């Protein structure tokens, strides 16, 4: 393999990776992860590209990948001792595919190995427009990646928004990657009032002052039911559910007839050893009020990904969607970044900066 195009000697390159060394019980700990040396990919298969990792994504769904049985068909469990994977952005250093050349920036929403250099199938990589500056490449993991797609597709396919009818939209984990985008998109799609639920006063100010939410609730210090009544005096028409559990139960209790729940995530229950279905009383309420709650996964709508990404990119370029990132540096800190995100320490999208191009 020739690295002359990048001016890097193969002998000068080392490689490192992060592996799952033990399965967590309850909340994940730093001890569940290990950073170690690994082989540099010297043989690139036809149809593959060699990439240098620039950014890695940590996301709530990864918690169930740490279990021996993830309990869903949408993700696969991580094997003990194997390289962890998720969303990633990198630069091509060598290619065995004519569609990619050294210097191309690429991204993947899933299955990007947590390691410095990796060989990945070119068919699974998305080329990033070179017009993005180096400091914007990580948007491919946030507003222009799976969080943006999940928010936009979920709202368009499940929310039943009727512009001009002054509907009220509530989103939980509202200061996170999906929640912060979903609230803004709901406004752009025609909702009259947007209320976010998050875990700190700082996040509440972020929602109100920077993103233009109409209301914000701190679930750790506020009386959730009372604050919902105050912020949503006409009831709730759409609920973008990122957390499940008690918070979601309180929201559903105040939803209007013929309203819609978009079940995006269940972060409050990902670290539990058993699945926690909705309470019987909540299930009865959904039925009584004819509240739709159809299971949703963005990767079931791949045929409209390109169209949705174009819409998201347009909104970002026009300043109609504002983005925020929480950035941790260093491959060895991926585990800590994941744990911090699960504990709610991030505002906006949590990413790990691995290297510069």
pLDDT digits (tens, 9 = 90+) for 122-177: 999 999 987 765 568 999 999 999 999 999 999 999 999 999 999 999 999 999 99
Give the integer Cα–Cα distance in Å for 189 and 312.
12
Return the percentage of the chain with pLDDT > 70, whole number.
91
Q: What is the pLDDT averaged over residues 247-259?
A: 97
Which of the residue ranges 151-160, 198-207, 225-234, 272-281 would you say has the lowest mean pLDDT? 272-281
Q: Rounded to a whole number, what is the distance in angstroms from the first to the last CA of the chain?
A: 20
Q: What are phi and psi of 232, to 5 degrees?
A: -125, 65
Whether the per-residue pLDDT at 4 is higher than 50: the answer is: no
Q: Give 88-134 pLDDT, tens digit per residue.
A: 999 999 999 999 999 999 999 999 999 999 999 999 999 998 776 55
Strand 349-353 versus strand 48-57 pairing type: antiparallel
203 — pLDDT class (breaks 50, 70, 90): very high
Query: Alpha carbon of 65 to those of 71, 170, 233, 331: distances in Å?
Result: 9, 28, 40, 19
CA dihedral 110, 136, 240, 272 (to 10 degrees): 50
Higher pLDDT, 272 or 233: 233
Q: How far is CA 313 from CA 152, 165, 316, 317, 351, in A?
A: 12, 27, 5, 6, 19
What mean pLDDT, rounded, does the chain reach? 91
Give the residue-averaged pLDDT of 52-73. Answer: 91
pLDDT at 304: 94
Sequence-ordered list of residues with C-beta below 8 angstroms from that of 251, at least 6 positions apart, any chain: 170, 172, 197, 228, 236, 239, 241
Q: From residue 338, how far is each of 86, 239, 287 by CA, in Å?
A: 11, 26, 37
**Residue 265 pLDDT more than 80?**
no
Note the pLDDT of residue 132.
61
What CA–CA distance (Å, rounded) separates 46 from 240?
42
| pTM for the model | 0.91
Domains of the chain as residue ranges with CATH: 10-142+323-353 (3.90.180.10), 147-299 (3.40.50.720)
Q: Which two tokens stand for residue 71?
A: 């309990």
Lowest mean pLDDT among 45-54, 64-73, 85-94: 64-73
**pLDDT confidence band for 71 (50 / 70 / 90):** confident
């Amino acid at each position: 393999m020739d690295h002359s195009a990048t001016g890097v000697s193969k002998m000068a390159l080392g490689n490192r990776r992060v592996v799952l060394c033990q399965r967590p019980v309850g909340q994940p700990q730093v001890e569940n992860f290990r950073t170690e040396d690994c082989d540099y990919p010297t043989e690139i298969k036809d149809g593959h590209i060699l990439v240098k990792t620039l950014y890695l994504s940590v996301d709530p769904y990864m918690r169930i990948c740490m279990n021996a049985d993830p309990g869903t068909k949408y993700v696969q469990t991580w094997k003990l001792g194997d390289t962890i994977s998720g969303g990633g952005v990198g630069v091509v250093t060598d290619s065995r595919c004519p569609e990619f050349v050294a210097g191309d920036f690429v991204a993947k929403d899933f299955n990007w190995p947590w390691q410095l250099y990796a060989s990945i199938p070119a068919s699974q990589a998305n080329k990033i427009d070179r017009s993005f500056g180096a400091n914007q490449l990580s948007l491919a993991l946030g507003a222009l990646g799976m969080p943006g797609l999940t928010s936009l597709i979920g709202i368009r396919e499940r929310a039943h928004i009727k512009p001009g009818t002054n509907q009220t939209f509530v989103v939980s984990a509202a200061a996170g990657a999906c929640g912060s985008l979903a609230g803004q998109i709901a406004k752009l799609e025609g909702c009259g009032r947007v209320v976010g639920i998050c875990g700190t006063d700082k996040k509440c100010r972020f929602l109100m002052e920077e993103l233009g939410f109409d209301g914000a609730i701190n679930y750790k210090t506020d009386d959730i039911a009372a604050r919902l009544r105050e912020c949503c005096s006409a009831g709730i028409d759409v609920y973008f559910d990122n957390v499940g559990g008690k918070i979601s139960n309180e929201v559903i209790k105040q939803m209007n007839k013929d309203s819609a729940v978009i079940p995006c995530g269940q972060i409050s229950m990902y670290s539990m050893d058993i699945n926690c279905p909705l309470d019987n009383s909540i299930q009865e309420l959904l039925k009584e009020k004819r509240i739709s709650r159809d299971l949703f996964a963005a990767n079931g709508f791949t045929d409209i990904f390109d169209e949705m990404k174009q819409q998201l990119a347009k909104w970002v370029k026009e300043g109609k969607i504002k983005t925020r990132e929480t950035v941790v540096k260093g491959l060895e800190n991926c585990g800590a970044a994941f744990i911090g995100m699960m504990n709610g320490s991030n505002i906006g999208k949590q990413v790990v900066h691995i290297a510069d191009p």
